[in-house]
Structure 1
Amino acid sequence: MAVPKKKTSKSKRDMRRAHDSLSAPGISICPQCKEPKQPHRVCGSCGTYKGKDVTETEA
């Protein structure tokens, strides 16, 4: 079984973990209802995408 010969320094350990952090998703404003939504996705409140009604929502 492989065992490390030297202790991994805090710098090396933290550099390895630098890419593991999560980032918040981007938020844009829907042009029809002015509610926040994710870019390139159907608006959850009004159901439109690129100015067209895509889904039927409960009114």
Structure 2
Amino acid sequence: MAVQQSKVSKMRTRIRHAANRYQGVAPTNCTKCGAPCLPHRVCKACGMYGDRQVLNTESQQD
């Protein structure tokens, strides 16, 4: 069986695991209106998802 050369401390293990932590989702800008929105989701400002109109917003009804 394989045997470790020396004990890996808790601090060293946590430092190694910290490099793989979840960074969160970076917001992008809507291609239609330029408002910040999450990727792969409907833009709340204009209601567009890609090239399709999905939601009716108040700004478009005026």
TM-score by shorter chain over 0.5: yes
Q: TM-score, normalised by structure 2?
A: 0.59
Letter in 1 for 2:35: E
Which ranges of structure 2 fall in alignment gaps of 5 or more residues? 1-6
1:54 has 2:61 as partner? no
RMSD: 2.1
Letter in 1 for 2:28: S
Q: 1:1-59 counterparts in 2 under 5 A?
A: 9=9, 10-15=11-16, 17-18=17-18, 19=20, 21-59=21-59
How far does residue 31 in structure 1 lie from its aligned partner after superposition?
A: 1.4
Q: TM-score, normalised by structure 1?
A: 0.61
d(CA) in 2 for partners of 1:13, 1:34: 39
Number of aligned residue pairs: give it.
Answer: 51
How far does residue 50 in structure 1 lie from its aligned partner after superposition?
A: 1.2
Which ranges of structure 1 fall in alignment gaps of 5 or more residues? 1-6
How far does residue 56 in structure 1 lie from its aligned partner after superposition?
A: 1.4
Aligned-residue identity in percent: 35
How far does residue 43 in structure 1 lie from its aligned partner after superposition?
A: 0.5
Deviations 1:1-56 (A, max 9, x none): xxxxxx971213433x424x331312222111111111111101111011211011
